Chains A and B, each alone.
Chain A
Amino acid sequence: MNTGHEKAFAGHHPLTLFIYFSLIIIISMFTVHPAILMCSLTGGVSFYISVSGIRNFITELSFYIPLFLLITITNPLFSHNGVTPLFFLNGNAVTLEAILYGADIAIMLISVIFWCKCFNKVVSNDKIIYLFGGLIPKLSIVISMILRFIPLFKIQKERISQSQKAMGFYSSGSYIDRLKSMIRVFSSLITWSLESSIETANSMKARGYGLKGRSNFSMFRFSLEDVVTLSASVLFSVLVFYGNFSGRTLFTFYPEISGIATDLFSIITYVSFGLFCLLPTFTEIKENLKWKYYVSKI
């Protein structure tokens, strides 16, 4: 946490990182198995903590816990299937299965959000341009601009609202006044972002980006560590996909919750997927220890 971004897991080759993150996100999105989703959530959250610090994570909980509750409550209002009705709302059953399914979907959503946040931290713009710049230059610049959009938006929002405050606008604590001031900031933010995206496009054009014969320089090397990570990613994903399609680690909520399979194959799948998800955290911890060790020797 005391060094720059370019270390530990982020030091992998962009291709490895891209495949690793896409596999985890795809698996998390297409399974409803609680054990696999919990692995994914644990991995995503612990990696996020190791990348951006525990304090950052705790402040963000105030958004993710209400989100979790909201999704959990919303699902039983629309889905009335399930064998254990708890009570009846306007003649429709609110069932335990529907609530648990809502919780499951919420975990899926939050874990995918956290993996995307980690992706944003680890895979910087230059890596995306490196990966796709040669193949599809226009799309890759658009992707990198989209991924940069929200963080940039946040920084600029902070700047605008500070300058508004410095001018003495809307300093009262009233919610309505604050809302008004937010709308004002938002409108100027939109104008700014439209302008800046055009500027970016123009400046890239001026540099001859995407023209034939334009060369790129990059320092990414495909090392032995990449081979190991990449083959582990492919191996573990094949295991999870096989378990899902063969029905061995299939999980259903309606009408009755099927139990979590506990045969040897399923347990191997859960544990290996858990390790797969925790891989970046382990790498971060290892590199941190190494760093501390070297510092202590100086």
Chain B
Amino acid sequence: MKKDILALFLAVLLVIVIIGGANIQSVDEYYLTHIDDITPESDTVYISITCGDVLINYEDLDPSLKSGDIIPPDGVILEKTEYVLRSGDTVFDILNRAVRYNHIQMEYQGADKNSFNTIYIQGINYLYEFSCGPVSGWTYYVNGDLPDKGCSDYKLSDGDVIEFVYVCRIPETFRQGGS
């Protein structure tokens, strides 16, 4: 009988750990309704999210994404917008705040879950890696250049311009850099 109580206690403990470790938010809590106000002295960066490449390679797109109005007709998911840069912010922090504020779906792989030790963006706006051909996926540019770091490692400075771009082909600069 004592052993049973012990087993029950262990099971309860396990449940408490699982529930305590889980952070449950409602939809309204997750999507930010307010974001830092831009004041004259605050540092700012610009971010845009586009998927123009999909429109060029439309025949490769996953059939389930073709129906409905998931892919915007002009390829612009988020227009170039200015956001406040807090000190120490990485590209991922800005992206995360921007999609939460604009109610855009985003899924990422945590930095502890891959061998690069950086966050990997799997999908934005239901457009996932491999959704449009075998080498398609999300990549980003800062001030027009492809950084050689993951988006959670790249520290931003005042006035940087981030572009998140969905590509269906591997960008030329990657190929040159890899040789």
Contacts from A to B (Cβ < 8 Å): 80-81, 83, 85-93, 174-177, 247, 250, 252, 254-256, 258
B4 touches A176 (CB 8 A): yes
Q: How many angstroms between the C-alpha atoms of A177 and B3 in the bound complex?
A: 9
- Least CB distance from B100 to A in Å reads 9
Task: Report the number of A-B residue pairs with Cβ-Cβ less than 8 Å.
Answer: 64
Q: How many angstroms between the C-alpha atoms of A256 and B4 in the bound complex?
A: 46
* A258 partner residues in chain B, CB cutoff 8 A: 64, 67
Contacts from B to A (Cβ < 8 Å): 1, 3-4, 6-7, 22-27, 29-30, 63-65, 67-68, 70, 105, 107, 123, 126, 128
A88 touches B63 (CB 8 A): no
Given A80-B107, A81-B123, residue A89 in contact with residue B3 (CB < 8 A): no
Given A80-B107, A255-B65, A258-B64, residue A87 in contact with residue B27 (CB < 8 A): yes
Consensus secondary structure, chain A interface: loop
Consensus secondary structure, chain B interface: mixed
Q: What are 14 A-B pairs with beta-carbon distances under 8 A?
A: A80-B107, A81-B105, A81-B107, A81-B123, A81-B126, A81-B128, A83-B126, A89-B24, A90-B23, A175-B3, A250-B63, A256-B67, A256-B68, A256-B126
Given A174-B1, A176-B7, A255-B70, residue A87 in contact with residue B64 (CB < 8 A): no
Q: How many angstroms between the C-alpha atoms of A88 and B27 in the bound complex?
A: 7
Q: How many angstroms between the C-alpha atoms of A258 and B81 in the bound complex?
A: 33
* A175 partner residues in chain B, CB cutoff 8 A: 3-4, 7
* B25 partner residues in chain A, CB cutoff 8 A: 87-89, 91
B4 touches A174 (CB 8 A): yes
Q: How many angstroms between the C-alpha atoms of A175 and B25 in the bound complex?
A: 37
B70 touches A256 (CB 8 A): yes
* A92 partner residues in chain B, CB cutoff 8 A: 107
* B1 partner residues in chain A, CB cutoff 8 A: 174
Given A80-B107, A81-B123, residue A176 in contact with residue B3 (CB < 8 A): yes
Q: How many angstroms between the C-alpha atoms of A93 and B64 in the bound complex?
A: 20
Q: How many angstroms between the C-alpha atoms of A24 and B29 in the bound complex?
A: 46
* B27 partner residues in chain A, CB cutoff 8 A: 85-88
* A256 partner residues in chain B, CB cutoff 8 A: 64, 67-68, 70, 126
- Least CB distance from A99 to B in Å reads 15
* B65 partner residues in chain A, CB cutoff 8 A: 255
Q: How many angstroms between the C-alpha atoms of A85 and B107 in the bound complex?
A: 12
Smallest Cβ-Cβ distance to A86: which chain B residue: B27
Given A80-B107, A85-B27, A86-B27, residue A174 in contact with residue B63 (CB < 8 A): no
Given A176-B4, A254-B126, residue A89 in contact with residue B70 (CB < 8 A): no
Q: How many angstroms between the C-alpha atoms of A88 and B126 in the bound complex?
A: 16
Q: How many angstroms between the C-alpha atoms of A91 and B105 in the bound complex?
A: 11
